[in-house]
């Protein structure tokens, strides 16, 4: 039974943008979607008129470390602060990312987050490290980086009890290709990132089952016409889904545009946000490292390396539209349906009957005016 109806002249549907659509909600689910229909077709429930404001699916962030002053590595309290901050910005689904730490510490962090995944507060856990390249460590403690030993990998995946959904590693490390095969066998997404790998090694990793490029361009060598490195193959192999950080700090707009147009596989927007997202400048920590945030740019205190972002997905969508020139429906899809599809969640990130009632209302300037998660206004 439809309990309420949203009507907008601009709705992003899985099939593309609709110029006129009526979206019916029944509790926490979308009950029906009709284009150019009358309210009578939806049972005569109360109608909420949105005018020409854009009605989008709730955003899905598969790579986020924290926000609102909290970090997922800090357990329940840190996760709560991060979720509140990102939900206010339209992200109705988050996968908690954890940075490099000791295996013992990562196991504790994973176990602390499992109940939040079970409760539906998180969509899963992403391990970004410790199996990364020292030369491309970025905001990871280089002394803790190591080769992916099977027993460590199995230990952390087992600690998650099925909630570890993605692992980023450098495929050139000893044992990495075997680790990718193990992850694929366990239905865990293997992502390539923080890597110095040659083109041939990237090809081997994709053949082994890797399927994601972690924040393309960042923490990997740039393209050279004789030594291409990871980027060309990750862009031109349709098996790879490409993560992009659209904040103007990590990647310049024209390069983002080039990547989007060149990508043979899907591309999606992430934040890679740390605790300072939707929070003031100041001193923070990212895993075991001290971070200073100045003018909303986070950098490791000891090295000056960029330490994640202070981005929220609504800002990433807005930047993609206004600065990169991406069609609004494509930008929204890259922050909703595409990451949901990668996660294997057809109930998320889309406005269609049966999906969870996660909606974001964007104004003329594409700022968030309203967020609904599971049929509840936030």
Digit-coded pLDDT (tens) for 223-238: 999 999 999 999 999 9
Is 377 assigned a catalytic role? no
pLDDT in tens, 171-190: 999 999 999 999 999 999 99
Q: How many helices (H) and strands (E) does the chain have?
A: 10, 23
245 and 286 co-located in one domain? yes
pLDDT in tens, 111-148: 999 999 999 999 999 999 999 999 998 889 999 999 99
At residue 287, does pLDDT exceed 90? no
Q: Is residue 233 a known part of a binding site?
A: no
Q: What are phi and psi of 230, to 5 degrees?
A: -75, -30
At residue 71, does pLDDT exceed 80? yes
At residue 42, does pLDDT exceed 80? no
SS3 24: strand
Query: Counting beta carbons within 10 angstroms of the beta carbon of residue 200, is it exposed (0 to 12), middle (13 to 18) or buried (19 or more)?
Result: exposed
Catalytic one of 152, 272, 314, 358: 272
Name the average pLDDT for the chain.
95
Q: Is residue 81 a known part of a binding site?
A: no
179 and 252 co-located in one domain? yes
Give the pLDDT confidence score for residue 57 in this predicted structure: 98
Give the pLDDT confidence score for residue 69 in this predicted structure: 97
Q: How many CB atoms lie within 10 A of CB 67?
A: 33
**Chain position carrying tokens 């008129």:** 49
What gap in Å lies between CA 352 and CA 355, rounded to an integer?
6
Q: Is residue 194 a known part of a binding site?
A: yes
Give the pLDDT confidence score for residue 2 in this predicted structure: 78
In sequence order, what are the residues at sequence separation of 6 or more whose Cβ sits closer than 8 angstroms to the Cβ of residue 368? 88, 89, 90, 314, 360, 361, 362
Q: Is residue 190 a known part of a binding site?
A: no
pLDDT in tens, 83-122: 999 999 999 999 999 999 999 999 999 999 999 999 999 9
**Domain membership of residue 226 as a residue range:** 59-343
Cα separations in angstroms, 127 against 13, 169, 212, 279: 31, 9, 13, 24
Closest residue by Cα to residue 135 from 221, 210, 214, 215: 221
357 and 301 co-located in one domain? no
Give the pLDDT confidence score for residue 309 in this predicted structure: 94
At residue 18, does pLDDT exceed 90? no
**Chain position carrying tokens 């269609």:** 352
Q: How many CB atoms lie within 10 A of CB 367?
A: 13
34 and 106 co-located in one domain? no
Lowest-pLDDT range, 51-60, 271-280, 300-309, 367-376?
Answer: 300-309
Q: Is residue 140 a known part of a binding site?
A: no
- Which tokens is 183 given? 């992850």
Cα dihedral 336, 339, 341, 345 sign: negative
83 and 12 co-located in one domain? no
SS3 198: coil
246 and 300 co-located in one domain? yes
303 and 264 co-located in one domain? yes
In sequence order, what are the residues at sequence separation of 6 or more whose Cβ sits closer than 8 angstroms to the Cβ of residue 249? 297, 306, 309
- Which tokens is 271 given? 């934040």
Cα separations in angstroms, 57 against 144, 296, 344, 360: 39, 27, 16, 6
Give the pLDDT confidence score for residue 40 in this predicted structure: 59
143-172 burial: b if 16+ Cβ within 10 Å, else e: ebbbebeeebbeebbebbeebbbbbbbbbb
Q: What is the chain's alpha carbon radius of gyration, rounded to the nearest angstrom?
A: 20
What gap in Å lies between CA 63 and CA 94, rounded to an integer?
8
pLDDT range class, residue 75, cuts 50, 70, 90 = very high
At residue 39, does pLDDT exceed 70? no
Q: Give the CATH number of the domain where residue 371 resides.
A: 2.30.40.10
Residue range 240-257: mean pLDDT, rounded: 97
Closest residue by Cα to residue 132 from 64, 47, 193: 193
Cα dihedral 306, 312, 314, 315 sign: negative
At residue 252, does pLDDT exceed 70? yes
pLDDT range class, residue 41, cuts 50, 70, 90 = low
Pairing of strands 241-245, 267-270: parallel
Task: Calculate the CA 370 to chain-centre distance.
Answer: 20
Q: What are phi and psi of 48, to 5 degrees?
A: -105, 115
183 and 93 co-located in one domain? yes
Residue range 291-320: mean pLDDT, rounded: 94
Q: Give the CATH number of the domain where residue 75 resides.
A: 3.20.20.140
Helix (H) or strand (E) holding 190: strand 189-192
Domain count, the chain: 2
210 and 286 co-located in one domain? yes
At residue 43, does pLDDT exceed 80? no
Q: Is residue 126 a known part of a binding site?
A: no
366 and 292 co-located in one domain? no
How many CA atoms, within 13 angstroms, populate the side-chain half-sphere of residue 371? Answer: 19
Give the pLDDT confidence score for residue 201 in this predicted structure: 98
pLDDT range class, residue 202, cuts 50, 70, 90 = very high
Q: Is residue 215 a known part of a binding site?
A: yes
114 and 246 co-located in one domain? yes
pLDDT in tens, 138-175: 889 999 999 999 999 999 999 999 999 999 999 999 99
Q: Is residue 149 a known part of a binding site?
A: no
Give the pLDDT confidence score for residue 86 in this predicted structure: 98
Q: Is residue 340 a known part of a binding site?
A: no
Closest residue by Cα to residue 61 from 176, 171, 226, 215: 215
Asked if residues 68 and 59 have their Cβ atoms less than 8 Å apart, the reply is no
pLDDT in tens, 357-376: 999 999 989 999 999 999 99
262 and 373 co-located in one domain? no
20 vs 37, residue with greater confidence: 20
How much of the chain exceeds pLDDT 70, in percent? Answer: 98
How much of the chain exceeds pLDDT 90, in percent? Answer: 90
């Amino acid at each position: 039974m439809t309990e309420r109806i949203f009507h907008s002249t601009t709705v992003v549907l899985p099939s593309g943008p609709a110029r006129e659509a009526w979206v019916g909600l029944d509790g926490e689910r979308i009950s029906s979607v009709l284009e150019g229909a009358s309210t009578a077709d939806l049972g005569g429930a109360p109608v909420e008129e949105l005018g020409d404001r854009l009605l989008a699916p709730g955003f899905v962030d598969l790579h986020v470390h924290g926000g609102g002053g909290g970090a997922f590595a800090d357990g329940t309290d840190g996760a709560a602060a991060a979720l509140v901050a990102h939900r206010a910005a339209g992200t109705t689904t988050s996968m908690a990312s954890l940075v490099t730490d000791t295996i013992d510490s990562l196991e504790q962090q994973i176990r602390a987050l499992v109940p939040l995944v079970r409760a539906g507060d998180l969509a899963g856990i992403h391990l970004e490290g410790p199996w990364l390249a020292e030369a491309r460590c970025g905001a990871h403690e280089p002394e803790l980086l190591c080769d992916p030993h099977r027993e460590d990998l199995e230990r952390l995946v087992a600690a998650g009890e099925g909630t570890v959904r993605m692992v980023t590693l450098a495929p050139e490390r000893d044992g990495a290709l075997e680790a990718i095969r193990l992850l694929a066998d366990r239905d865990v997404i293997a992502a390539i990132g923080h890597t110095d790998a040659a083109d041939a090694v990237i090809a081997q990793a994709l053949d082994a089952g890797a399927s994601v490029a972690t924040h393309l361009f960042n923490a990997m060598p740039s393209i050279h016409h004789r030594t291409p490195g990871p980027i060309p193959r990750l862009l031109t192999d349709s098996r790879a889904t490409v993560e992009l950080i659209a904040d103007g700090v990590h990647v310049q707009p024209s390069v983002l545009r080039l990547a989007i147009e060149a990508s043979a596989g899907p591309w999606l927007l992430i934040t890679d946000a740390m605790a300072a997202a939707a929070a003031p400048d100041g001193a923070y920590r990212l895993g075991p490292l001290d971070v200073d945030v100045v003018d909303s740019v986070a950098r490791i205190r000891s090295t000056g390396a960029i330490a994640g972002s202070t981005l929220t997905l609504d800002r990433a969508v807005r930047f993609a539209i206004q600065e990169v020139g991406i069609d609004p429906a494509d930008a929204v899809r890259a922050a909703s349906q595409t990451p949901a599809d990668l996660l294997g969640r057809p109930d998320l990130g889309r406005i269609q009957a049966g999906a969870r009632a996660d909606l974001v209302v964007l104004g003329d300037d594409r700022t968030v005016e309203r967020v609904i998660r599971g049929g509840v206004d936030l």
